[in-house]
Amino acid sequence: MSVPDYPYLTATLGDAAERLPPELAQPLEAAFAATVDVPDPITLQGCLQRIRNGDGADGQPWRSPALTPGQGMAMARADRAAAGLTTLLEIFHAAERVRVDGEDRQQIGDGTREGLLLACRGLAEYVELQLHAA
């Protein structure tokens, strides 16, 4: 099956879209394309671009009419860092429970616990900086 010349018109009009003259079909297709919010396909480059554009922890751009784009990016970064901090603290908490109540062979060791603690501190400081930047 071939890709239609006018995918939005074809989705709307079916095969009749292919019978429209180009001088009518092209502007209609452009109008449809401009109003339809089609997500980019999931590709490495597309994901990296969305990350660079400041997506939040939920993967969506931070949207707020009261914020400038720079403030929105700062809030998105703080949101991602806070989500990472929560995850690290959950791992750290579980590691502490194992240290207190678990068996020696299941413990992660002092160096790893200290690394988790330092990562949590670093993310908490980063969240604070981003919130003050917004």
* pLDDT tens digits, 89-106: 999 999 999 999 999 899
For residue 29, the model assigns a pLDDT of 83
For 11-53, write each residue's pLDDT tens digit: 777 777 888 888 888 888 888 777 756 566 677 777 777 666 6
Helix (H) or strand (E) holding 33: helix 22-35
Mean pLDDT taken over the chain: 81
Structure confidence at residue 39 (pLDDT): 60
How far apart are alpha carbons 49 and 91 in whole angstroms? 29
Rounded Cα distance, 8 and 93, in Å: 52
